[in-house]
Amino acid sequence: MQSHFRAWILIPACLIPILMIAAGRGDAAKGKTLFSRCSICHGAAGEGNQAIGKAYGVTMPVLGSKEIQALDDAALKKIVAEGKGKMQPVKLSDAEMDDIIAFVRTLKKPTPK
């Protein structure tokens, strides 16, 4: 009886890391390093380089804005992988994509009190 009890404790404990990996949680620190390539247009803190936007005739989105943060990870990955408007697609591995998305999530603007 006691061995069955241990199994019920160990099984969920073993599944937690697997589920975290399956959920696609990236490393925001690695994502920040990767994002340096994106910062030319998007700005170091995701604020958008308005001069580049003006040159291309587009409004650069603030990546920490409510509108961008409301997109789910799949939508953000699609934009990065396929491009959008004048933004060119970016070739990243699955792990790198997860890392970039994790970093973008850190840019979320705090809700005013």
CA distance 67 to 48: 14
pTM of the full predicted structure? Answer: 0.75
Task: Give residue-wise pLDDT tens across range 18-64.
Answer: 444 445 589 999 999 999 999 999 999 999 999 999 999 999 999 99
CATH number, domain with residue 32: 1.10.760.10
Q: Is 26 in contact with 98 (CB distance < 8 Å)?
A: yes
Between 110 and 20, the higher pLDDT residue: 110
> Does a structural domain hold residue 30?
yes
Task: Give residue-wise pLDDT tens across range 86-107.
Answer: 999 999 999 999 999 999 999 9
- Structural domain harbouring 58: 26-106
pLDDT band at 11, cuts 50/70/90? low
> Does a structural domain hold residue 89?
yes
CA distance 68 to 100: 14
pLDDT for 22: 44
Total of domains in the chain: 1
CA distance 94 to 56: 29
Tell which residue, 87, 85, 101, 104, has the closest CA to residue 26: 101
CA distance 81 to 89: 5
Between 95 and 110, the higher pLDDT residue: 95
> Does a structural domain hold residue 61?
yes
pLDDT band at 4, cuts 50/70/90? low
